Structure 1
Amino acid sequence: MFLKDRQRRNIDYLQTLKGVVALLRDPGQTDSVYDVEEGLRNIKAVQLSVDFVKSKPEVAAIIEERYLAPEPDMEALLKLPEESLGYAYASYLKEAGFDPNFYRKLEVVDDASYMFLRIRQSHDIWHIVTGMNTDVIGELGLKAFELAQTRRPMSLVLLTGGLMRTLLSSPEDLDLLLDRIAVGYRMGAKAKPFLAQKWEENWEKPLAEWQAELGVEPTPVYVP
């Protein structure tokens, strides 16, 4: 048993290291993000993250329910009022050329795997509601938001890697990156839990109403 546990930890470590190295080379490698998260799945910090989010009753309820949304009907969402979350989401994905089902699927076997999958499924919605850009700096701002909301270990790993890469390859961007991280973390600490929301059952609700209800003041758009 000890040898099996040690072997599993070694495999997880190598998978995490491989993902981190790939991300340092190319932060746009989404598969590397998933490699990092899945390599970290057995560390104690993941269970502490689950305990943290479940300390909020509304999050604990959705985790127990294992709520996952069906695939969105993009054409139907584009017919909603322009001020709605659904229209904002569909038009954003269409303009960016993103696939709403881009994320890597995984089997839900426990609370942690459910949390991973639900955050992956709603990632682009989080971008829209927070106003964080989808470039590298905006993604890291959203990771700071996620860290405040969930204590998700992967968020901290990506923030650390992003800071290192910026310091070494584009130090002129460091001030902007630190600003986005600070803004994202403060926003996440103040906002009501995003993980508790069934966004997809209320696509027609105005985006501004979502933001007001959740205590979110969206970050101003910046020019990288």
Structure 2
Amino acid sequence: MELIDRPLVHPRRKVTGFRPIKAMRHFGKLVADKEDTEQVFQIIDALKGRKSVWQMADFIATPQARMLLERGEALPPLLDDHARWAKCAPNSLARRYVEFMEREGLTAAGLVAESHKFKPKDERFEDLYEWYIERLRDTHDLFHVLTGYGRDPLGELCLLGFSYEQNHSPGVLFIAWMGARQMAKETGMRAPVMEALAEGRRLGREADKLAHADLLTTLPDDIDAVRARLKIGKPEAYRQCLRLFEDLPTREGGWQVQLPESQARAA
């Protein structure tokens, strides 16, 4: 079935309401292992409601969404084809994305695999809602590159704050707020951490919706021009908080992770 011919919501899809106890249980697992990406998907699923379906339907009704659906592109294989982007300019979004992914040892396919641990094939339906949530997933690392938020714990939390204001998923805000609360407790730096999270949310409100943009065709463009076009501001409070973290003693399993020098230059 062609993407554009899929129903909005498959008749067998169940959109559950809030399950806060389940969310708290999975958040505890995420705190214990901050690299356990599956827990993020579990929390988002536990706290999603019908609003996500309404947002999807509003987007699908736009000419931009129809154009993307008609093209029918699968983002992960195109994003993972690094040779495809090798001739782009050094400061292009494409080259900056490839540098980020290779430096972090990440692939778009890897994030897909993590999401499939949470949701096996028989729970994925051929509807436009599935396409929409997959697009939110597949553009996550492009969000990192465009916003300048790193993969350190504070960067991930600030990016979640940014993403919440873009897509209004309660589970995303829950992880961001609870994670910031935990980080503030461990570092003793409540004000800077909360300020960085608040900044992320503000930047997300002010920017155009990144997942709704035609990011694939903008990959060859200069990243600063793309940021200006999409109204993406600079994460100054985040960077200041990272500088404050440098003076804290490193603690195994803690949140005090500073931005690597190479990534700081790229931000």
Pick the TM interval, shorter chain.
0.7 to 0.9
Of 46, 50, 53 in structure 2, the residue corresponding to residue 47 of structure 1 is 53
* Code of the aligned partner of 1:90: V
SS state at 1:116 partner? helix
1:84-115 residue CA offsets vs partner (Å, 9 max, x unmatched): 10000001111122223221246354444333
Of 74, 86, 91 in structure 1, the residue corresponding to residue 82 of structure 2 is 74
Q: Which runs of 5+ in 1 are unaligned?
A: 1-7
Q: Which position in structure 1 is the counterpart of 2:168? A: 151
Whether the aligned pair in 2 keeps the contact of 1:59 and 1:193 (CA below 8 Å) is no
Give the Cα separation in 1 of the matches to 2:213 and 2:47.
Answer: 25
Distance verdict in 2 for CA 1:144–1:62, change over 3 Å:
farther
Give the Cα separation in 2 of the matches to 1:201 and 1:172.
Answer: 43
* Displacement after TM superposition at 1:58 (Å): 5.7
1:108-146 residue CA offsets vs partner (Å, 9 max, x unmatched): 544443332111111111111111121111111111111
Whether the aligned pair in 2 keeps the contact of 1:211 and 1:218 (CA below 8 Å) is no
Distance verdict in 2 for CA 1:181–1:175, change over 3 Å:
same
Of 197, 204, 222 in structure 2, the residue corresponding to residue 188 of structure 1 is 204
Q: Which position in structure 2 is the counterpart of 1:205? A: 221
Whether the aligned pair in 1 keeps the contact of 2:146 and 2:223 (CA below 8 Å) is yes
Determine if the alignment matches structure 1 residue 19 to structure 2 residue 36.
no
Distance verdict in 2 for CA 1:98–1:57, change over 3 Å:
same
Give the Cα separation in 2 of the matches to 1:182 and 1:145.
Answer: 9
Whether the aligned pair in 1 keeps the contact of 2:218 and 2:226 (CA below 8 Å) is no
Distance verdict in 2 for CA 1:108–1:139, change over 3 Å:
farther
* Displacement after TM superposition at 1:177 (Å): 2.0
Q: Which position in structure 1 is the counterpart of 2:248? A: none
Give the Cα separation in 2 of the matches to 1:40 and 1:75.
Answer: 39
Give the Cα separation in 2 of the matches to 1:141 and 1:17.
Answer: 20
Q: Which position in structure 2 is the counterpart of 1:57? A: 62
Aligned residues: 214
Q: Which runs of 5+ in 2 are unaligned?
A: 1-14, 244-257, 259-267
The correspondence of residues 70-149 of structure 1 with structure 2, limited to 5 A, is 70-71=76-77, 72=79, 73-103=81-111, 104-105=115-116, 107-149=124-166
Q: Which position in structure 2 is the counterpart of 1:4? A: none
What is the root-mean-square deviation of aligned Cα atoms in Å? 3.0
Q: Which position in structure 2 is the counterpart of 1:38? A: 45
* Code of the aligned partner of 2:173: L
TM-score (ref. length: structure 1):
0.80
Q: Which position in structure 2 is the counterpart of 1:5? A: none
Distance verdict in 2 for CA 1:29–1:175, change over 3 Å:
farther
TM-score (ref. length: structure 2):
0.68
Percent of residue pairs bearing the same amino acid type = 18
Distance verdict in 2 for CA 1:37–1:20, change over 3 Å:
same
Distance verdict in 2 for CA 1:183–1:59, change over 3 Å:
farther
Distance verdict in 2 for CA 1:69–1:49, change over 3 Å:
same
Give the Cα separation in 2 of the matches to 1:62 and 1:155.
Answer: 28
Distance verdict in 2 for CA 1:63–1:153, change over 3 Å:
farther
